[in-house]
Amino acid sequence: MGLVSFVKTAVITVTGLFSLNLFVLGVASTGAFFIPVGKKKKQARLQAQSELWDLSTQPLPGFHHKFFEAPDGVNLHYVEGGDTSPGSPLIIFLHGFPDSWFVWHHQLSAPAIQQKAHLIAVDLPGHGGSDGFPRASATAILTSVANFIIAQKEKKTSETCILVSHDWGSIVCCRLAPEIGFLFTRCIILNGLHPPLAIANMNRATSSASRMLRTYVRNPTNFALIRSAFQSLKPFLNQMKASYYASVFLLPLPLARTLYTMGDFWFLRLLCKLSKSPNEEIFLASAFGPSKSEAEGYPAAILARQNANKRASDRIAYYRDNLSVGTWRKPENIQLLIAESQTNSGFTGLLEQKEGSFKCPVTIVYGAKDTAFHRPFCFEGLEEYLVPPKGKTGKSYLICFPRDGHWTMIPSPAKESVDTLIESALDGIDGEEMKERVWAVNKDVKFEIEN
């Protein structure tokens, strides 16, 4: 292990242990370590799991459970409804941590969206009712989700395909859109950072601070250089502060799982409060996936996932296995699809675009009160990645919901604003008319970037 790698591991470990201790103190202060889970609460959770995951019933009115049998053998569970005719527009929803398809239930149930489009909400690998991989590597997850999307598109005669995502689903979306963005009419990305932009901002901050500190060593009386170095690092340090919980998930696995499972899933119940979800048992049922009673008909991995530690391992693998920045080694079918798209669009390879630039119009939404993301670090320089794609129509946006946090699809009026963004994309409405639609629902929404 090199010195840099050793220092990085040491910093992550110390930060993770410190953060875990803070969480343990938080749990202890609520008494969650000592209060047993009552029979009534256990029954309510089982009932909620039955409502969401029983394959013999409709998960939502007009929706049905389905499975995608993937070429790699990792089968994905999804729910499907709306106008499922071949000619209808397609909308695919990707959830984040610790959720499943159910986090989109409001959007799936919105009559104006249901009547216009074919709606599919899929459980990411290792979540909900879907199989998982031994490692949640970029190649495994991105290939699995890409093949799912391609298979759904092949059933359609309509060219319209909108990808709506949140949290880790948004990071998956931000990895897919620069590579296979030609598949999408628009990506609507909620509360997620763009990995290439985040890396660029981190490198810019650390490089600038490093130059100033080297200069300070030669001019030790110039304390302004210290202040300038700190100011350069400040956005990065603020993001590290916002993401401190993630350091726990990078600890050795037995410790990493502790945050997920301790105190009767105290951390998940905390996230439920932050999400403003009105029903804790439904929130937990969505995070847990099918219970043993509903497992028949699901992939065999669902039975193994009844163990809380196994469930935790599958979820936190997205943090541990380099999904956000790892190399995506694309299989042959996706490589051929990309090559065909470049040929059909007249792409010659002579046009230089910043690596990670989106290949379709995107609408990026964040909540100003989202404690997991620091705006200057996550979105400074975003315009460089919003190059108008060849052959695509529509502008790209960065939109702020000033009163909302991380789950912008759940509380009102944020959820209605998200609905309006989806409806506008379906209707082909852009620019000022789209803004007026959104402001009619939520006048506080701010359009910060338009490109």
pLDDT in tens, 249-272: 999 999 999 999 999 999 999 999
Tokens of 104: 């989109």
DSSP 38: P
Q: What is the pLDDT of residues 273-298, one digit of tens each?
A: 999 999 999 999 999 999 999 999 99
Q: Which residues on adjacent β-strands are paired with residue 362?
A: 187
Contact indicator for 386, 362 with CB cutoff of 8 Å: yes
How far apart (Å, rounded) are the C-alpha atoms in residues 75 and 398?
Answer: 34
Candidate CATH numbers 3.30.450.20, 3.30.1330.10, 3.40.50.1860, 3.40.50.1820; the one for domain 1-451: 3.40.50.1820
| Burial of residue 14 (number of CB atoms within 10 Å: 0-12, 13-18, 19+) | exposed
How far apart (Å, rounded) are the C-alpha atoms in residues 396 and 166?
Answer: 17
Contact indicator for 103, 160 with CB cutoff of 8 Å: no
pLDDT at residue 1 is higher than 60? no
What mean pLDDT is predicted for residues 420-449?
A: 97
How far apart (Å, rounded) are the C-alpha atoms in residues 396 and 450?
Answer: 6
pLDDT at residue 441 is higher than 50? yes
Name the percent of the chain lying above pLDDT 70. 96
Residue with tokens 């089968």: 75
Q: Is the dihedral of CA 133, 135, 140, 141 positive or negative?
A: positive
Q: What is the CA radius of gyration of the chain?
A: 22
Tokens of 403: 């009163």
Please give the pLDDT value at position 416.
97
Q: Where are the domains of the chain?
A: 1-451
Please give the pLDDT value at position 348.
45
Please report which confidence band the pLDDT of residue 7 belongs to, taking 50, 70 and 90 as the band edges: low
Q: Report helix, strand and coil shares of the chain as percent, to nearest 5.
A: 50, 10, 35
What mean pLDDT is predicted for residues 7-30?
A: 90
Contact indicator for 118, 84 with CB cutoff of 8 Å: yes
Which segments of 65-194 does DSSP mark as H helices, in order?
A: 105-109, 111-114, 138-154, 168-180
Q: Residue 136, SS3?
A: coil
Angle, alpha carbons 238-241-246 (nearest 5°): 130
| 90-94 and 118-122 strand pairing | parallel
Please report which confidence band the pLDDT of residue 346 belongs to, taking 50, 70 and 90 as the band edges: low
Please report which confidence band the pLDDT of residue 36 belongs to, taking 50, 70 and 90 as the band edges: confident
What mean pLDDT is predicted for residues 419-430?
A: 96
Q: What is the pLDDT of residues 157-187, one digit of tens each?
A: 999 999 999 999 999 999 999 999 999 999 9
Q: What are phi and psi of 322, to 5 degrees?
A: 65, 30
Residues 6+ apart with CB under 8 A from 216: 222, 225, 226, 229
How far apart (Å, rounded) are the C-alpha atoms in residues 159 and 161?
Answer: 6
